[in-house]
Amino acid sequence: MAEQNTPILSTDALTKRFGGLTAVDGVSIALNEGEIVALIGPNGAGKTTFYNMVSGRMTPTSGQVLFHGSDIAGKPPHEIARAGIGRSFQITNVFNELTVRENVQVALVSHRGKSLRLFAVLGMDRALRREADEILARLGLESMAELRTGTLSYGDKRLLELAIVLAIEPEIVMLDEPTAGLTPEETRAVIELIRNLRAERPYTFFITEHDMEVVFGLAERVLVMHRGQLLATGAPEEVRQNPEVRRAYLGDEEEDSAA
Amino acid sequence: MSRRAGLITALIAVILVALWFLPAWAPYFYIFVAAEILILGLFAAGFNLVFGYTGMLSLGHAAFFGFGAYVTAMLLLHFDTPLAFALIASLAGGGLLALVIGFFCVRLTEVYFTMLTLAFGMMVFSVAQQWRSFTGGSDGITGFAVGSFGLGLDLTLGNPAVYYQLTLVIVTLAGLCLYLITISPFGLILRAMAENPERVAFTGIPVRRYRLYSFVISGAFSGLAGGLFAPFTRVASPETLHWSQSAEPVLMSILGGSATFLGPFIGSAIFVLLETWITSFTDRWMLFLGIVLALMVMYLRRGLLGTALDRLTKRG
């Protein structure tokens, strides 16, 4: 196809300043359709800020975020979600008071344009129920559908987050440290799961991650940020060998508090 | 689960039938008590759509309740409007006022939202009290007659028993309507927003706009309750607009349980019955209400109905 070389998402000199501090300084990246890209960097490198600007959680000071060629920088989260970019959060962000199925249904109701149905009974909408259960099954959560989410284990909540993201059928799946706080087995399961998901559909994954095992086990391309700038980009092995990257990570300790 | 739902439905049906025949077996006085419980219960349930379901504490809902009372009172006084149409106007008026006030309030969240609703509530109260030529000032609107109901129904609304039964029917229908909203896909979005608005936004919902929708629906039902209240008390007074009136649905929702649909109705019953009972031997009923409320908040935090349902489902 002719569009093969056009990135699905790119940023152009994306910048965020907080008063005198430049958290993200003119970062330009490109994501190609269907690839798994990891964004890494020491604490305080600006990756969370960058990530938040792409997903609409923060408004950039300057620069562009191009999704399918049109600028979405500064648009509110709901518009970016509707355009086809779904994201999860580093801190578990599920609805504890709702059932597991209802958690997924929140996203489905929104995605299917049913959110203004005031006099339909949610429990009687078979399509919403079937679709929610299918998504839960893809993540192995189907047996928990009726449980109140607050009773789930931490690992299952993280999976449920992923289910909520998938429910809006995003083209780009942004996962903010999807394995944070998980045991090594759970982490491996998540890696496997993300691989399987990508095999099912041409999702583009854009992941931030601390765990290097995840980064090198999963990512096809790695972006390294340091002090608000893009330090390196390339295949995991290239990046690992990059002397500048090594220096940035070794110097990490002193900069831990500079978030 | 569905057996429990059936049991609750049957219980509600029994209570409604008993309430319908209340004038036949209870002392006259209790018709007034029951009517007040129903009307304030509807007010509290309407309020609770914003409070319990959408997670926003409004301290300005008396504006919608009182506005509804004035709309019906004025229509009856100046135009002899059939009551059915006056009530529809109160419903629409409450919703419209909520649209205007809510437009500004939903921009803010948490305590700032609450403060702004309180401020708007006070403004509406001041207007009603000072625009004497139109609103009757602190006397309010009195001397209106409740004539026909309209819609081809021949009801003797001057008879308190008939007015009470009409109130029961309207509150039941309005309550059913509100209940349907809470179990709809829209209701799910509201409940999700109460817990985590940001997560909802990232599924593609413009959260602020949905807060406004909730606020408008809530204001409309509060307005309808006010419309029923004016003919009941024979007056639309500025007191129905006062901020202390805004506190009532808050207390009722908490007393009954804001996480349950019927909680505000139960809370209204507790509130009105306590008031009736305690004022019969002391004027300081607020002191006793305060004690009851303090005990409830300390020991039955999810309200009477909420706690009872928790026990039934053995939910932590």
Q: Do B188 and A122 touch (CB under 8 A)?
A: yes
The nearest alpha carbon in chain A to B53 belongs to: A97
B201 → closest Cβ in A78, A97, A114: A78
The nearest alpha carbon in chain A to B196 belongs to: A95
Could you read off the pLDDT of A21-39 as tens digits, one per residue? 999 999 999 999 999 999 9
Could you read off the pLDDT of A39-91 as tens digits, one per residue? 998 888 899 999 999 999 999 999 999 999 999 999 999 999 999 999 998 88
Give the DSSP H/E element, type plus range, for residue A14: strand A9-18
Instruction: Name the stretches of chain B with pLDDT < 70.
Output: 1, 314-316
Q: What is the ipTM of this complex?
A: 0.90
User: Would you say A203 and A34 are in contact if contact means Cβ atoms under 8 Å apart?
Assistant: yes
pTM of the prediction? 0.92
From A147's Cα to the closest Cα of chain B, the distance in A is 11
- For chain A, what's the residue count? 259
Provide the CATH number for the domain formed by A1-84+173-259 in this structure. 3.40.50.300
pLDDT tier at A4 (50, 70, 90 boundaries)? low
The nearest alpha carbon in chain B to A116 belongs to: B186
Give the DSSP H/E element, type plus range, for residue A188: helix A184-200
Q: Which residues of A touch B177 (CB under 8 A)?
A: 119
* Radius of gyration for the alpha carbons in chain B, expressed in angstroms and rounded: 19
Hey, which residues 114-133 in chain A have their CB within 8 Å of chain B?
A: 114-123, 125, 128
User: Would you say B188 and A102 are in contact if contact means Cβ atoms under 8 Å apart?
Assistant: yes
A106 → closest Cβ in B177, B189, B213: B189
User: pLDDT > 90: what percent of chain A?
Assistant: 77
pLDDT tier at A257 (50, 70, 90 boundaries)? very low
List residues of chain B with CB under 8 Å from any CB of chain A: 177, 180-181, 183-189, 191-192, 194-196, 198-207, 210, 213, 217, 315
CATH 3.40.50.300-classified regions of chain A: 1-84+173-259, 88-169
Q: Which residues of B touch A81 (CB under 8 A)?
A: 201-204
The pLDDT value given to residue B154: 83
Could you read off the pLDDT of B117-160 as tens digits, one per residue? 999 999 999 999 999 888 888 888 999 988 888 887 888 888 89
Q: Is A227 on the interface with B (CB under 8 A)?
A: no
Which letter, b or e, does each residue of B1-16 get, where b requires 16 or more Cβ atoms within 10 Å of its Cβ?
A: eeeeeeeeeeeeeeee
- Selected from 3.10.105.10, 2.60.40.10, 3.40.50.300, 3.40.120.10, the CATH number assigned to the domain covering A88-169 reads 3.40.50.300
The pLDDT value given to residue A250: 66
Q: Is A98 on the interface with B (CB under 8 A)?
A: yes
Could you read off the pLDDT of A154-200 as tens digits, one per residue? 999 999 999 999 999 999 999 999 988 899 999 999 999 999 999 98
